[in-house]
A and B are shown apart, each in its own frame.
Chain A
């Protein structure tokens, strides 16, 4: 029976054929993918079109978009080219979003997996810690963390990662609680599989799909958080991110709305892309849908 159960173990969802096709068939996922491709393209190709230092003061201050084709998207209050700034911002935002999410997913998965697998006292302790983080408003905690350790890209990434993991931990724990008692897990255990191997090769692959979907949403949230931190002046002063541009332009909102508006649109598009993609992934990776 145990042998049968082992072979009957559901394959890891991410390996399953047809994922891309299912994603493409999902309207929101497709739209998200297209938008994300646009943003990625902008970040990759942008430096070729608008090379140079985004901090360099190259033209008259507060040029409107289209006013001078040398600076197609206009300039900010200190005469810095906005197109160059937006390209820099795209790279910074995507980088921070991805790394912060990786940190959140790692911590969250670790907490959730251990708690869900062992249960009992381990679970109780880990979940109380998780709750501790969940009860503090995430943005306030991020502000405090960045302010305490001097604002920089590293502290922003760490702070965002640290405030974003509890949801993942909850999700992974729930998955583990369910999978822990499934036949294929019991079978593997009976066969004498070591605990780490059991967790890593049997349970985790099956618990991951919803985590991937959630992480996509976490990326979107991380990008927003970074922008908000920079807006408040808590971004890395040496790095031009979208939030930096918005923060620098907010005093001129009534005179030159586009300084805040353009990076604002960039943030909306990027966050929307990740949200749609996350939702699409969630549908596509849903184990129930998959088995049918």
Chain B
């Protein structure tokens, strides 16, 4: 139910990680895995079962067990081999070669080869995936010199490409099933044939979905589990109760409300993993419509930013599960994170800025009135954050009217009609700013009617040039300088107030263990997961 705003596709996938206050509890357990058993996992019911051309998160949570990508990501969001064993990029940054697993097979017995990767990249990701179009825009050709080698030829360097090729961002589909068909309507989308550790068995819509162990999996001896049952429990209270009663083993994707997490704080009985969603680099933000009266003045936007106590927001609304955001890139994206926060909590400075902008308090103590729009399908925290911001603005004399609308009306109001002053949303910033951040500031991305584009209407030709240069820069150090400049500009101009770096929680019973810690654990294959004996 929650997080619908995060799942609606647009352009926000993230690679960045959230800093965690709890070290990965799955780390370093010198226990021998137990074989057998069926893990019962709760997710929100997905509409289909392949992520190759759609970004809905809960599809990824299920499909990642069946279908795989070239890599997965560790806690630092560095790529770890999956179907690609190794890779190298030429000195000019224009050719990237992947060596593939030679013992991987599709669930119907057909061998997995380079042709599958070529087909998926050119016909599925580049053409149909909402982000894939950007990620693979520079790809001019995909060469397959032998069945286990793929060379991607680029027209310009694309460092960001390595940040979006896991099973969630670039899922590899079987060419022999999809070629020559209408990919979006292929029956395999709801009964997938993959290379992953688990095979699709049964899907009872509205109730559950069953996966069984793939005995021919390319990692010898894995998976440990005999199968997985995904259960769909729409009510949050019922989910918590089911986990406590031992009826389920795992919930993925912050399905237990933060206010209930204290019930699962006993480490002997439960594990709360806060690293699984690092890859998404999600930030809760307030976007300001700079075309509105007063809000076109950057002093006013800075004042609004100074008025919000981000630490208080994290503490009260997110119950500590999150981190105050300081800029457009979350701190977990260590490669590009910019430390400075020019708009720390300072209500007096806020009032001063508003006075300077000529917006003095009236006889009733109020300066002006604006609205804040959010979607009713957004998270529970999103609504509470609106209430928090209303109080914060009241303190500096800004009267805030909260408007909550259903998701469709909210998107129309913000991206089609532009009829709002401030909107809140949770967006994936992804581990690379070119993929997840540029879209929110780029002048060319002011696209009427397209959700999750540049909806603030902010336009800065200098920033546009910097962002475009950063995208095509093949040298990491130079690229970092460009991204730093970029962050300084948007922190100063403040068309978007980044408020909270979100933490995605996976809550499980302590019996549920996993060998490897992943930054994209939400989309883990779980071949290395097992259930410890009771």
Which A residues are closer than 8 A to B by beta carbons?
53, 55-57, 61-62, 77-79, 147, 150-151, 233-234, 237-238, 248, 250-255
Contact = CB atoms under 8 A, between A and B. Distances in A.
Contacts, number: 61
A234 B383 CA distance: 12
Contacts of A56: 391
A255 B258 CA distance: 12
Interface stretch (B128-136, B295-303, B396-404): B396-404
A251 B380 CA distance: 9
Contacts of A77: 259, 384
A237 B316 CA distance: 18
Given A57-B391, A233-B376, A233-B383, A150 B263 contact: no
A117 B56 CA distance: 60
9 contacts: A57-B316, A77-B384, A150-B404, A150-B409, A237-B387, A238-B402, A252-B259, A254-B241, A255-B259
Contacts of B236: 251
B223 to A, nearest CB: 34
Interface in B205-228: none
Nearest to A80: B387
B237 A250 contact: yes
A157 B34 CA distance: 60
Contacts of A55: 387, 390-391
Contact of A251 (B259, B317, B406, B409): B259
B405 interface: yes
Contacts of A234: 376
A251 B239 CA distance: 11
Contact of B384 (A78, A238, A255): A78
B274 interface: no
Contacts of B380: 251
Nearest to A236: B402
A151 B391 CA distance: 20
Contacts of B404: 150-151, 233, 237
B232 interface: no
B316 A255 contact: no
Interface in B363-410: 376, 380, 383-384, 386-388, 390-391, 394, 401-406, 409
Contacts of A151: 404-405
Contact of A237 (B257, B388, B391, B403): B403
B402 A79 contact: no
A254 B237 contact: yes
B237 A251 contact: yes
A142 to B, nearest CB: 15
A238 B369 CA distance: 13
Contacts of B384: 77-78, 248
Interface in B32-86: none
Given A56-B391, A252-B260, A237 B386 contact: yes
Given A56-B391, A233-B383, A250-B237, A238 B317 contact: no
Contacts of A250: 237
B262 interface: yes
Contact of B387 (A61, A62, A78): A78
Contacts of B390: 55, 238
B505 interface: no
A254 B263 contact: yes
Contact of B240 (A62, A248, A254): A254
Nearest to A235: B404
Most chain-A CB neighbours within 10 Å: which of B380, B387, B391? B387
A227 to B, nearest CB: 17
B402 A237 contact: yes
Given A57-B391, A254-B241, A78 B317 contact: yes
Contacts of A150: 403-405, 409
Contacts of B383: 233, 237
Contacts of B263: 254-255
A248 B391 CA distance: 17
Nearest to A152: B403
A1 B531 CA distance: 95
Contacts of B237: 250-251, 253-254
Nearest to B317: A78
A233 B386 CA distance: 13
Contact of B388 (A78, A233, A253): A78
Given A57-B388, A233-B376, A254 B260 contact: yes
Interface string B224-261: 00000000000011001100000000000000010110
A251 B405 contact: no
A55 B316 CA distance: 13
Residue of B240, B316, B388, B394 with highest tally of chain A CB at under 10 A: B316
A78 B376 contact: no
Nearest to A233: B376
B45 to A, nearest CB: 20
B385 to A, nearest CB: 10
B505 to A, nearest CB: 14
